[in-house]
Amino acid sequence: MKTLLVDDIKSVRELMKLYLNEYGISNSVSNGEEAIEAVKTAIKVNEHYDFICLDIMMPVMNGLEALIEIRKMEANAGITKSKIIMTTGNYDAKSITNANSNGCDGYFLKPVSKEAIERKLKEFGLI
């Protein structure tokens, strides 16, 4: 399984990477713009991501904007969609609704537990 972790807080990325390392390769970046570039590169080399955790609130480009662009790139490339989970520190119904209507597969409230991640991965059939 290939995972991309996107969060502007380094400690969050590192903790989630620890949770996911046993299941495969985990890459991490700090904003939506970097996420777009990582996904673009992965698609180009035919090694797209299976699972993406995307923080909603980030500088440079927020998670919702990145989600929309990632879904466009996947559609244009004609590949299977990554399972994308939005992460947030604050429950914001509007952001969650916008993410759902733009193709996210769920969300996590921070702090994210290893158990919550494993439940989602099992639900998605990734582990």
Q: How far apart are CA 81 and CA 73, in angstroms?
A: 10
List, in order, residues 6 or more apart from 35 with CB less than 8 Å away.
4, 6, 29, 52, 54, 61, 66, 70
Residue 108 inside a domain? The answer is: yes
Here the CATH number for the domain that contains residue 20 is: 3.40.50.2300
Q: Tell me the pLDDT tens digit for each residue of 102-114.
A: 789 988 888 899 9
Residue 114 inside a domain? The answer is: yes
Residue 13 inside a domain? The answer is: yes
Residue 51 inside a domain? The answer is: yes
Residue 125 inside a domain? The answer is: no
Give the domain range for residue 91: 2-118
Structure tokens at 111: 């702090």
| Number of domain units in the chain | 1
Residue 123 inside a domain? The answer is: no
Q: Tell me the pLDDT tens digit for each residue of 41-87.
A: 999 999 999 999 999 888 889 999 999 999 999 999 999 999 999 99
Backbone angles phi, psi at 110, to 5 degrees: -80, 150
pTM of the model as a whole: 0.92
